Amino acid sequence: MAGTGTTHLRSGDRLLAVEDLVVEFPAGRGRKVHAVSGIGFDLLDGETLGILGESGCGKSSAGRAVMQLPPPTAGSVRLAGTELTGLAPAALRAERKRMQMILQNPVAALNPRRKVADLVAEGPSVWGDRPPRATIEAALAAVGLDPATVWDRRPHELSGGQCQRVCIARALMLDPRVLICDEPVSSLDVSVQAQILNLLEATRERLGLSMIFIAHDLAVVKNISDRIMVMYLGKVCEVVPSGELAGAARHPYTRLLLESVPEARPDRTAGQDGAFRAGEISEPPSPLNPPSGCRFRTRCPLATERCAAEEPKLRRLAGDHHVACHEA
């Protein structure tokens, strides 16, 4: 079930702290799309937070709101102690250098008229300090591209994986502290996905970056993240350490996601060993008019009358494991 709460927020020195984040979009005739509804999360130095959920759960809207693209409807976003929400444009522009974003479609994220060398140098150039050729070549080499081969090429002359490597090199040119990856491998072949994930992990370790990794692929999020936050229809369902996801997941929605992963076992039918069968679960409700109480209750086999009347709060189960469910 999906709810709110602060038990999963840590105290102490946090690089990024997001609290009560709300993102709404006008839908005409006085209606609103409730993309994100009062969530919170934090990020420590060198940590990777995975945000997991199906399409439409609000994970990309949350990532963009952290970048103030656009600013959230309400809530607080603090980067190294500096409140970003409400900053004047010039001050926000300066602070945002410390956060960079890698988008889902690498080809569309690159200006088709510009050459690779200019694309990688774009960030520093905007600030009036175009890097020397050697620095650009080093950035390309660091992401596995041959500078001599790609230097004068344009995005349409590169593969999807090469374009994503260019996007990563471009993001790192401003020496960010936080890298937000919005489904960076979803449009790539499986073999290329593995290469990009390995590159991101190696880059994080080499530069000491913190990352927010947004995806709907459970296996991808599990393998790259230290901590996973599961979202459903704009709410947080469960926060769990990555290593405990498969064996200790308690939220009905998280268990449904686990059950939906195909297994190479011909003797096992879908849902045979679990309480949830994906084929029996209906479509999610509209974010224009989310259900009362628990937003997952219309699809949850454990739902009770309490779920319709009362929104569940995140509560600690054990260690760093938190769940928002009346029945878990």
pLDDT of residue 247: 86
Q: What is the pLDDT of residues 31-70, one digit of tens each?
A: 999 999 999 999 999 999 999 999 989 999 999 999 999 9
Token couple for 111? 């200006």
Query: May I ask the CATH architecture of the domain 16-103+178-262+271-296?
Result: 3-Layer(aba) Sandwich (3.40)
- Number of C-beta neighbours around residue 267 at 10 A: 5
Question: pLDDT tens for residues 254-270?
Answer: 999 998 877 655 555 54
Domain boundaries, the chain: 16-103+178-262+271-296
pLDDT tens per residue, range 120-156: 999 999 988 899 999 999 999 999 999 999 999 999 9
**E strand or H helix at 315:** strand 315-318
State the chain's mean pLDDT as an integer. Answer: 90
Residue 275 CB-density burial (10 A; 0-12 exposed, 13-18 middle, 19+ buried):
exposed
Q: Average pLDDT of 269-298?
A: 72
Confidence of residue 279 (pLDDT cuts 50, 70, 90): very low
Residue 67 pLDDT: 95
Distances (CA, A) of 76 to 17, 18, 66, 296: 8, 6, 9, 25
Return d(Cα 15, Cα 243) in angstroms, integer.
22
Q: Residue 200: is its pLDDT beyond 90?
A: yes
Query: Residue 226 in 3-state DSSP?
Result: coil
Task: Give the integer Cα–Cα distance in Å for 163 and 196.
Answer: 11
Give the pLDDT of residue 327.
85
Cβ neighbours for 163, distance < 8 A, ≥ 6 positions apart: 106, 107, 109, 110, 155
Phi and psi at residue 312, in whole multiples of 5°?
A: -70, 150
Interval 5-36: pLDDT, tens: 888 999 888 999 999 999 999 998 989 999 99
Taking the mean position of all CA atoms in its chain, how far away is CA 44? 15
pLDDT at 211 over 90: yes
Report the pLDDT value the prediction gives residue 278, as an integer from 0 to 100: 45
Question: Closest by alpha carbon to 143, among 113, 182, 172, 116?
Answer: 172
pTM for this prediction: 0.91
- What band does 246 get if pLDDT is binned at 50, 70 and 90? confident
What pLDDT does residue 189 have?
Answer: 86
Per-residue CA distances from 39 to 153, 247, 317 (Å): 42, 25, 19
Examine the pLDDT at 240 and tell me if it is beyond 50: yes
